[in-house]
Chain A
Amino acid sequence: MARVGVFVCFCGANIADYVDVPQVVEEVKRIKEVKYAVEYKYMCSDPGQGMIRDAIVQHKLTSIVVAACSPRMHEKTFRKALSDAGMNPYLLEVANIREHSSWVHQKDKKAATDKAMDLCRMAVAKSIANEQLHEISVPVTKRALVIGGGIAGIQAALDIADARIPVVLVEKSPSIGGKMAQLDETFPTLDCSQCILTPKMVDVASHPYIELIPYAEVLELQGFVGNYKVKIKKKASYVNFKTCTGCGACWQKCPVKVPNEYNLGLDKRKAIYTPFPQAVPNKPVIDAEHCTMLTKGKCGICAKVCLPGAIDYQMQDEIIEREIGAVVVATGYDMWDPKPYEEYGVGRFKDIITSLEFERMVSANGPTNGVPVRPSDGKVPKNVVFIKCVGSRDEAKGIEYCSKICCMYTTKHTILLHHKVHDSHAYVFYMDIRAAGKGYEEFVKKAQVDTAATYLRGRVSKIYKKGDKLMVRGEDAQIGQVVEVEADLVVLATAVSAPKDNPELARLLGISYDKYGYMSEAHPKLRPVETAKAGIFLAGCTQAPKDIPETVSQASACAAKVCGLFAGDTMKKDPMVSTINNEYCSGCQNCVNVCPYGAIVTDEVPVGHGSKDLRTVAKINEGVCQGCGSCVAICRSMAINLAGFTDPQIINEIVSI
């Protein structure tokens, strides 16, 4: 006969204020299988767990019910208490009387108490039918996939590879580096972005544990934590990277010019190109959309001038597969398009540029040799107006959130302007100066004093043209007056937005994303690098806007998570998985179609005992099964049983109320 122990928790006042705990204890004591029932202030505390351990031994209990908070909170804690007392941990049931009762029925103590009693009765009834279960061991593929080769992906890949774990790094564009490769100097120390980034890019290319796959994208991810299989599309580059020496003869001779993405269209590149001089890999690719050889069959110059004969116009996209155990998503961010700001004349006035364009102009390897110029007439500007929060913190035209980095990079831009054009003057329209970071406030103060930039507190309401100047109108709330600034150039600190491909990528990876398109972390405070899907982690701006120091920290945190996951040769897994009883299975395969994890395949078994004829049945891979129960529900032959949620357990629960 079953001997059940019930432990009802007050959870401080969380439960006790709304549920009559002693009454619940009295009620469960009336169930004949319950041999011991007690209440306590904090069951999860050390003494609380001790009570469970002692009662198991003293009262020779055969299953345990803890009526407390959600099992997501402390199921593991209580299971451990059972094992410590020598009991199989899966003989535990948790009745969630906090989230399911006290918290949601705060206005009616009687109803909350009644419901708590029902929940306890059900848990007791279920626990009577509980069986001993044992953790499953699954082998792990110790190889990580990193998606995106910005500073986040680079850092994560290097840190994982340094632990001698192989990494596959997939980058969408022809080179790794991301936005950081487009920056000039970086706040708050003003070190040159390229100088600190390029060595890391080279390390990626030469690392024995990193397989760099540029110009590629992820098509499909199958499997489960520790055992994923990924399909990657390598886009045709039309250049054989093995024979190409990177000499550049091809792009020098290519006659086709197209806007250069690296410089945001401020200058041109060729149809065959390396995105920037320090690119890694430093091999050109042919832009199939614009190459006239590929579109019209005319030209072929690059093949003629290429000495090693590396050009291959017949090259096709290639699909490759890799087995991996974990994924780091590091797809970065996009710049928000300021088009909705019609009152600023965006699109109409040439001398309004974005911050990233300004960044390219002041970069030594930029389209204007490191000097900002007016796109309209190429003149060097004297009065430059910087407008912050464009698109950010603007529910009407843009996005609600603060992009976090623009206050700091605009401060940096006032310094860079001051350095590049000595007799210039910067005006900054702002709403706040958000400078929370090590050395950030100091950086802002120094910039304001050294550059004498004029800070005007207000959002710009309008920009209009007067002669060849742009008149920028806004309030200076500090003196309560409307001001107009006569500007030669206007720079918009446009919002950081989520990469537009993120939702699609999230769907194919099976992770979630927020309303803006950023990938969602498992917990905003305590699990900021994990996703809700085991084995998939997030680094950098793909999760939310952040600067380089924060991006690098998160990337290294991802690496630690991946290394932790790969620490043993096998991984432990909950035994709550489904099994099929071949005798009942009719082979209809409904379950195969309904399983969201692809855990069910078909198998051939003899029709009868010793028979040579075969029939089809379904077979579940316990490593892949996540215990969702969909197959159990769909099987009309009732051939499937889910451990921990067997028919007798569920029926007991129902009957008990």
Chain B
Amino acid sequence: MITLGSQGKNTFLEAVNLKSGANVLECYQCGKCVSTCPVSQYMDFPPREIMQMIKLGLKEECYMANSHWFCLTCSACSGRCPREIDIPAVMEAVRHLAIEENHINDSKKVKEIRKFHEIFLDMIKRYGRNYELRMMAEFNIRTRNLFKDMHLAPKALLKGKIPLGVKPLKSAKAIKRMYEVAERLEKKK
């Protein structure tokens, strides 16, 4: 059971709105996002419920949900939301706030997703772009699942979906510098 009314101002709602630039109060719970979202069935709480939980100020429950980790930021939902709410921005805001406050869902799936994010960012830092083959390999090694999706490899290779090498972008250096600046700023906080 949830008790409301004693917690005072809904600062969680304010933080999410500020960070996302959306206004969660505009959500009228129609559920169109839920039936649009390609991964809503894997989420603990589909996007509509996350919206309502933010409105109720259920911060912990929101942080601990896996929804914002599962969100692909594909923007399918926001493209169809009748109230034009930037739902992926809301998901991202929750993700950031959860990291900032270090309240993170520790299920195996979420851990994997977070590793995936890290490796991806690392690829960009190195090459200025993604290097699919290395990314797959690293992901499989770091999640200790060496043969994951291996059966797809021959076909993908043949069709040229996974180039064997990588040609770093010309601007790779500039991108690297962006990383360094961002990391410095992050440390200062």
Interface residues of A (CB under 8 A from B): 383, 425, 427, 445, 448-449, 452, 454-455, 457, 469, 476, 478-479, 481-487
Within 8 A of A (CB), among B104-145: none
Quick check: B1 and A486 within 8 Å, CB to CB? Answer: no
Query: Interface residues of B toward A: which range?
Result: 20 to 34
Other-chain residue from A425, A455, A457 in contact with B5 (beta carbon distance below 8 A)? A425
Interface of chain B: mostly helix, strand, loop or mixed: mixed
In the complex, what distance in Å separates the CA atom of A449 from the CA atom of B17?
Answer: 12
B5/A486 in contact, CB under 8 A: yes
Chain A residues lying within 8 Å of B56, measured Cβ to Cβ, are: 454, 476, 479, 483
Query: Is A454 a contact partner of B2 (Cβ separation < 8 A)?
Result: no
Pair A449/B25 contact, Cβ less than 8 Å = yes
* Known contacts A478-B48, A478-B49; A452/B25 CB under 8 A: yes
- In the bound assembly, the distance between CA atoms of A458 and B1 in angstroms comes to 14
Least CB distance from B62 to A in Å reads 11
Residues of chain A with a CB closer than 8 A to B40's CB: none
- Pull 19 A–B residue pairs with CB atoms less than 8 Å apart, ordered by A: A427-B5, A448-B26, A449-B26, A452-B10, A452-B25, A476-B52, A478-B29, A478-B52, A479-B49, A479-B52, A483-B1, A483-B3, A483-B4, A484-B3, A484-B4, A485-B4, A486-B3, A486-B4, A486-B5
Asked if B6 CB lies within 8 Å of chain A CBs, one says yes
Residues of B within 8 A of A (CB): 1-6, 10, 13, 23, 25-26, 28-29, 45, 48-49, 52-53, 55-56
Query: How far, in whole Å, are A476 and B26 apart by their CA atoms in the complex?
Result: 18
B57 to A: closest C-beta gap in Å: 9
Contact A484 B2 (CB under 8 A): yes
Q: Given the complex, which residues of B lie within 8 Å of A485, measured CB to CB?
A: 3-5
Closest A-chain residue to B3, C-beta based? Answer: A484
**B49 pairs with A383, CB closer than 8 A:** no
B28 touches A445 (CB 8 A): yes
B49 touches A454 (CB 8 A): no
Q: Who on chain A is nearest to B56 by CB?
A: A454
* Residue from A427, A454, A476, A485 with most neighbouring chain B CB atoms (10 Å): A454
The answer on a CB contact under 8 Å between B2 and A483 is yes
Give the Cβ gap from B11 to chain A, nearest Cβ, in Å.
12
* Shortest Cβ distance from B58 into A: residue: A479
Residues of B within 8 Å of A481, CB to CB, are 1-2
Structural contact, A484 and B25, CB atoms closer than 8 A: no
Given A476-B52, A478-B48, A479-B49: A452 in contact with B2 (beta carbons within 8 A): no
* Minimum distance in angstroms from B143 CB to a CB of chain A: 32
Interface centre among B5, B23, B26 (most CB of A within 10 A): B5
Return B3 CB to nearest CB of chain A, in Å: 5
B5 near A482: Cβ-Cβ < 8 Å: no
CB pair A427–B4 under 8 Å, yes or no, is yes
**11 more A-B residue pairs beyond the given contacts A452-B10, A452-B13, A486-B6, with a C-beta to C-beta distance below 8 A:** A427-B4, A427-B5, A448-B28, A449-B23, A452-B25, A454-B4, A476-B2, A484-B1, A484-B2, A484-B3, A484-B4
